[in-house]
Every structure is written in structure tokens, then in C-alpha cells.
A and B are shown apart, each in its own frame.
Chain A
Amino acid sequence: MDIDLITNVLYAMIRTGTPLLIVALGEMVCEKSGVLNLGQEGMMLMGAVIGFIATLLSGNVWLGFICAMLAGVLMSQLFAVIALGLSANQVATGLALTIFGTGLSAFIGSDYVGKPIDGLGVIAIPVLSDIPIIGKMLFAQDLIVYFSFGLFAAVYWFFRSSRTGLVVKAVGENPHAANAIGLPVMRTRYLAVAFGGAMAGLAGGYLSLAYTPLWAENMTAGRGWIALALVVFATWRAERVLLGAYLFGLASILHLVAQGLGFAVSPNLLAMLPYIATILVLVMLSRNSGRSKLYTPASLGKPFHASS
């Protein structure tokens, strides 16, 4: 491997990891508040299709991203009304949201298949992007990638140092106690779900507007599910979500690069690499189950009603 190739692999690692990172951070905030939303795939697809249509019609990619996020929020609030407002089973509601989003996005997008758009361009930061090896990976990306760096920092700070972050955690740990001391349990959960939806929508928009600027049915190809698994394996810690997302990105790029270089390893084995590597590393990191439990939201997936 020469320097150029390493530079490009690292660059691709960030790009591949970015949609996963954005969804997973959104879902992490949502789960920290005690709500398990399995509808990521559906929200991503809705974000992807709405973002694509908005961009195609308006010619403005930023309007596309805003619409993608709004679509994600709308979908997530549909989930919230049923799962939180009506205290329905969160797992079932989330699954239904994925099925619904997959179908609805295909329906809405059927007239937009095969239409090309320009997509989001890359903004290379002068000087910094010329640093060997890591320059391209960190400083020659598009704005959504830069945003995802900021998003990670914000979520990390939010749970580590902010008062609101503490409120979200309290609501996710013990909603009854939180309610008793006067914290707005339901409002917190609605907002956390909305944030998760906005991030899923944004990640979907990233796929259809920047990563592969096109709309095709089911184009997320399971990334929402991978992000969900990442949150669990990362034991609800932002820095491990980041690690997991990029590790997954790296391994999925390596399995393609290795084939191109002519490694005589079965591509089927290589294709498993991203999953195995990510699970292995994150499981090893969280092998201390006592400590890991500390980070797991205790009331995850349990409905809450103030009177009960």
C-alpha cells in the first residue's frame, strides 16, 4: 500500500462512516431518554427521498437537507404519538415505522427514479487538507461530514457536562423518579425522539444528496439497522459510537480495496469483516459488564405514564 492509497482509504472510511455516525448519535440520544425507536431505516429512507425531491425541484441542496431533516422529524413524531402518547409497544411501533417508511418512500419516489442531481460538493480547507495522510480525510470533505464532527462533539459534551443532558439521562434511567422531582418526562422523550428523527433524516439525505446523489428505492440498504446495533455495542457512549462507525467504514472499504489489490481471500469472508471487526472491538471495550450496565438506560423501551 502506498501513501496515496492509505490517504484515499482513510478518506473513504470517514465518508462511509458518516451516515452511520449521524444516525447512531441521534438514536443514542433517543435511547438515553429511554425510548427505543427501531424505525431508523424508515426515517432514513423518508429523509433520503424527501431531501432528493426537494433538491431536484428547488435546485438547492441545502433546502434538500432541511426537508430531509423535517421528514425525519415528522416520521419520528408519528412514532412518538403512538409509542409515547398511546403507550404502544415501542419495538412493534418502531418496526412498523421502518416498514411504513420503506413503502412510503418508494411510493413517493417512484417518479424520481433515474433523475440525476449534482449533489453536494467537497470543500477542501486550504493548507490543512494538504497534510499528508490525514489531511484529505479530515479537511477535504463535504459540509455534512464537518457537521458530523461537530455533532459528535456536541453529543459528547451534552451527556458529559450539560444539565439538560443530565435531565435526559434521568428520564431514561428512572422516569418515575424524574417525574416526582418535577422533570418533564414526556416532553423530554418527545424531543429526544424528534432529535433522533432529524438525524436519521439528515443521514438519509446525506446518502441521496452527497454519498450517491440519486434516489433509488431502499437505497439505505440496511444502514439504519447497523446504526442501531452500533449504539448497543457502543454501550451508549458517544466516543464508542464514533469509533464503531469509522471502524465499520474502514472495514467495509478495506474489503473492497483488498479485492482490487488481488488478495486471495474469499470476498465472502471479507464481506463479514466490517461486522466482525466492529462487534469484536466494541465487545472487548465493554467486556466489563458491570461498568457497561452503568451506561445502559435502565428504562429503555418501557412505556411511561405519569399516573402509574
Chain B
Amino acid sequence: MKKPALKKLLTGLVAGLGLAATLSVQAADQMKVGFVYVGPIGDHGWSYQHDQGRLAVEKHFGDKVKTTYVENVPEGADAERVIRNLAKTGHKLIFTTSFGFMNPTLKVAKQFPRVTFEHATGYKQAKNVGTYISNTYEGRYVAGFVAAKVTKSNKIGYIASFPIPEVIRDINAVQMALNKYNPEAELKIIWVNSWFDPGKEADAANAMIDQGVDVILQHTDSPAAMQAANRRGVYAVGQASDMQHFGPKAHVMSVVNEWAPFYINRVQQVMDGTWKSEDHWGGMAEGEIVIPEFTNVPADVAEEAQSLIDAISAGKLHPFAGPIKNQKGELKVAEGEILEHGEMAGMNWFIEGVSSEIPK
């Protein structure tokens, strides 16, 4: 009789030590899958969408899979501890869902060769570490097109988090669209040094609106900027999840990450023993980048935007099609070629047309 009580106590202790994960005991034939999130699942943005993917996995596999998630994990030494804890507690497959988890993931993966790891948005693989990323640049390109068409002041604002390849690439994708559809438009970038700080994101949005910006794009995770745009009567593009109801008057479109197809696929592969380390890129064609609806935009703009989506999905249009020059005017991608995924993964330069510099 004493043992279960002890177990309970121990579980309680572990939870009490600050680990938000629930470490319960279960049947051996269940596969345990772990998820590590950088933000709270309640951010209604990046981490929220990953968690929707996790829930889809649970629904798809039912009793065969048990998932665990740890949210609010800082990118740094703490991440390593959290990932190691998941590996230690019998998780067979662990998804680490932020760029900053790259090195901690690789380090833990080395110590647990039998555990499979999937790291989102990174560029370093190992035998048991695959990487995955969604082609958010495809969605951003469409966002850039819509912004180019609806702006009246020709000032477009971009709330950026950190100068890492993923963010830089998406800014470039927007600029690619601006260069093509409205070269007059200027892209104003504000770095807020945070993935999630609603107050700061709203401040940044307001600061840009004060400077004449009338379309706001964001690469941060809360809907605060969408709200601020709605209050001030300018347009905004939602990030990661559908943010329409936060800005009924402001919302033009949202670039939504759908992780479910990928997560279900990888869990199945690990179950079947067919998993191999890969660098996976999924976009509109794979159903991993979705633009649910255009609102507050003229019908012809929405129509043309939809045709862009169709062309990208069909592989007929590539957002990074040459010629592409960098800010110094040097040719980086020749005409008739496209920017390869390998190049994109480490992209650390702005394309011609972006007026500000990448912070060092």
C-alpha cells in the first residue's frame, strides 16, 4: 500500500521542483512523445499552434501515444535540463520548437542516441536529430503582396523579434513582394528583442503608427499588435494563428502554421521504425502554411493574392526567384534560379530594398 503513495509523493516533488511536465506512469506499449515550447501555450501564436499540433497527434493516435509538453522554456541552459529530463523519462520522440533550442537539443541527443529528436527552425542535424521548418516565407510573400496593395502611406511596419535566419528570411520575403508590387513602399523594422511581450509589441505597433505606418506585420507571437492596429484604424497581418477576431477592422490575413500533418507523420515514422534524420521544409503545398481568409481587402486584391497562393502551392511561383541582390547590390541569386533551402537556412543578409541594417 505504501508504494503508490511514495510514487505520488515523488511525482509531486519533481513537479514542485519547477518542472511543469507531468511525469505519470503508464503502460509500456504507449509511445511517449515530448514537446518543448519557448512560450506559453496560451500565447495564441507560435507555441499555441505547436500545441494544436500536439493535440492532433493525441487525437490521431489515441491510446497508442502519450504526449508531454513543457512550456515557457527559456532558450539557454535551462532548455538543456528540460530536454534531458524528457529524454530520461522515456520519451521516444522529442520536438523542440524554437531556434534557440538547437544546441541544447544536439547536446542531449548525443547522450541519448536511442531517442529521436526533431528541432524546429534550426539548421544542424545529427543521426538522431532531424530539423523541420515551415515555409513561412511563402505566407510572408503573400502578406507582402497584400501590404503592397493596401498601403496608402507606403510605409509598412514589421515587428521583429531576434535577428536570426528565420526572421531575416521572412523580412526578405516581404521585401521581395514589395520590390515587385510596390517598390515605393518602405519597410520599417522594429526589433523588440522578445518573442512574447504583449505590452512591448503593442508599443512597437503604436510607435510605428505614429510614424505613418498603415500596415503592420509581425514576427512576434501575441495578438497585441493586431489589437493596436484595430484601435488606431490601420491594417495588420496575423502571425502563426488566425488572429482575425482580435482585429475585425484591421485584419487583412493571417499566416497560420499547421504543424499537425508533420507531427502525425513523424510519430508514425518513429513507431514504424522508418524515421531518418532529415531537413524538412513544409509550406503551402504540404498544407503546413495556411492562409485561412482575406478580410478588409478589395476583392481584386484578394483574388490576386489567392492566385499567388495557388501558384506557390503548385510550385509555379517561388518567393525567392532570382535575380536577387543583397543590400550592397551584389547578385546573390541569378535570374532563372531560386534561393535553395540550404542557403535560406542560414540566411543572414537583407535583400536589396530593405533600408535598415541587421543588428549586430
Contact = CB atoms under 8 A, between A and B. Distances in A.
B41 interface: yes
Interface string A264-291: 1011100100000000000000000000
A184 interface: no
Contact of B42 (A8, A12, A216, A271): A216
Contact of A252 (B41, B72, B200): B200
Interface string A12-28: 10001001000000000
A216 B44 contact: yes
B189 A213 contact: no
Contact of B198 (A4, A114, A221, A259): A221
Contact of B210 (A114, A211, A217, A257): A257
A75 interface: no
Contacts, number: 124
B190 interface: yes
Contacts of B331: none
Contacts of B44: 113-114, 214, 216
A8 B357 CA distance: 26
B191 A259 contact: yes
Given A8-B210, A212-B224, 10 more contacts: A106-B42, A207-B198, A212-B201, A213-B227, A216-B43, A221-B194, A252-B200, A253-B207, A259-B356, A262-B356
Contact of B193 (A19, A116, A261, A267): A267
13 contacts: A12-B206, A16-B203, A106-B40, A110-B42, A114-B246, A116-B245, A214-B44, A216-B196, A216-B198, A256-B207, A257-B211, A259-B191, A262-B356
Given A116-B246, A216-B222, A12 B227 contact: no
Nearest to B40: A217
Centre residue among B193, B198, B224 by max chain A CB count within 10 A: B198
B235 to A, nearest CB: 17
A216 B211 contact: no
Contact of A260 (B211, B223, B228, B246): B211
Contacts of B222: 212, 214, 216, 219
Contacts of A214: 44, 198, 222-224, 227, 246
A292 interface: no
B200 A221 contact: yes
A113 B246 CA distance: 11
Given A218-B72, A267-B193, A260 B208 contact: yes
B324 interface: no
A212 B190 contact: no
A252 B193 CA distance: 12
A260 B40 contact: no
Given A216-B43, A260-B207, A16 B199 contact: yes
